[in-house]
């Protein structure tokens, strides 16, 4: 049987790859098999049409025709490429946040306290850094408030108050962004009127809750594409829970 020079070059390239390929410790490589039953272990870099680009453990990359590989490998590589196309690369989606007071009201209790209730939350910008139009996005979040207590009362055991929420974005065009506000969480302030003091301490310092922070996760479908905490310690001290 006579081989064309093109096929002969492909055959020699495959043998070169096979002879030089050594599986390094900890590498995740796939074993490819050609139509003649020869095998090759390599990282899959990309599948483009009828060609596959592979990377040897020494860093060299080569392009092979899908048609030279077994039918099983051709099917696997096409499925692999479809999954890669649907997944968002690291850094493809970014969350940016800023806190704000969105509403407030005061109420006189008829005694010595003026009670203020403020509604705090976050403005969120979801940025699409990819060249893809994305669908099925959602951002889940938890707001945290640190409650204050009347002077003289033990506040060390006060757990953070929480409010969960989510926002769905149907589509997000390439290299665009979407801005929304989270739900709000109540922050209370108790201010004593002139001449009044707290019974246990004798002072008149105001009592005020604090917006402690927020924890957000962004998803495209079931893929977690970005996550941010402010402060960062929230992910270590608190447990994530989705809105039910």
Query: Tens digits of per-residue pLDDT, 97-144?
Result: 999 999 988 776 667 777 788 999 999 999 999 988 899 999 999 999
- Contact in structure between 144 and 221 (CB atoms under 8 Å): no
Given this model, what pLDDT does residue 197 score? 64
Residue with more model confidence, 17 or 153: 153
Where exactly does CATH 2.60.40 map onto the chain?
93-237
Q: 3-33: per-residue pLDDT in tens? A: 444 444 554 445 444 433 333 333 357 888 9
**Angle (CA) 136 95 237, round 5°:** 105
CATH 2.30.30.700 range(s) for the chain read 5-86
The reported pLDDT for the residue numbered 155 is 55
State the architecture of 5-86 in CATH terms: Roll (2.30)
CATH architecture assigned to 93-237: Sandwich (2.60)
Average pLDDT estimate for 73-97 = 85
Where b means 16+ CB within 10 Å and e means fewer, 174-207 reads: eeeebeeebbbbebebbbbeeeeebeeeeeeeeb
Query: How far apart are the C-alpha atoms of 4 and 197, rounded to whole Å?
Result: 98
Mean pLDDT of 61-85: 86
Q: Tens of pLDDT along 170-216?
A: 999 999 999 999 999 998 887 777 767 666 666 667 778 889 999 99
Task: Using alpha carbons, select from 232, 148, 141, 234 the residue that is nearest to residue 190.
Answer: 148
Pick the more confident residue, 197 or 89. 89
More confident residue, 36 or 1: 36
Q: Which residue has the higher pLDDT, 19 or 59?
A: 59
Burial 117-143 (b: 16+ CB within 10 A, else e): ebebbbebebbbebebebeebebbbbb
pTM above 0.85, yes or no: no
Whole-number mean pLDDT of the chain? 81
């Amino acid at each position: 049987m006579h081989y064309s020079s093109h096929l002969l070059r492909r055959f020699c390239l495959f043998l070169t790859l096979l002879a030089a390929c050594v599986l390094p410790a900890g590498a995740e490589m796939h074993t490819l098999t050609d139509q003649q039953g020869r095998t090759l272990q390599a990282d899959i870099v990309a599948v483009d049409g009828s060609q596959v680009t592979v990377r040897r453990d020494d860093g060299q990359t080569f392009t092979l025709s899908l048609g030279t590989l077994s039918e099983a490998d051709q099917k696997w590589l096409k499925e692999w490429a479809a999954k890669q196309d649907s997944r968002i690369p690291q850094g493809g989606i970014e969350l940016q946040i800023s806190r704000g007071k969105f509403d407030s009201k005061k109420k006189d209790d008829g005694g010595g306290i003026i009670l203020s209730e403020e509604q705090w939350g976050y403005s969120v910008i979801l940025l699409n850094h990819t060249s893809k139009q994305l669908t099925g996005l959602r951002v889940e979040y938890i707001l945290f408030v640190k409650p204050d207590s009347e002077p003289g009362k033990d506040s060390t055991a006060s757990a953070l108050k929480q409010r969960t929420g989510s926002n769905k974005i149907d589509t997000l065009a390439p290299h665009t962004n979407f801005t929304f506000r989270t739900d709000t969480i109540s922050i209370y302030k108790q201010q004593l009127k002139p001449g009044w003091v707290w019974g246990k301490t004798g002072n008149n310092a105001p009592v005020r809750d604090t917006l402690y922070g927020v924890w957000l996760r962004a998803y495209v479908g079931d893929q977690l594409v970005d996550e941010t905490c402010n402060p960062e310690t929230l992910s270590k001290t608190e447990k994530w829970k989705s809105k039910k």
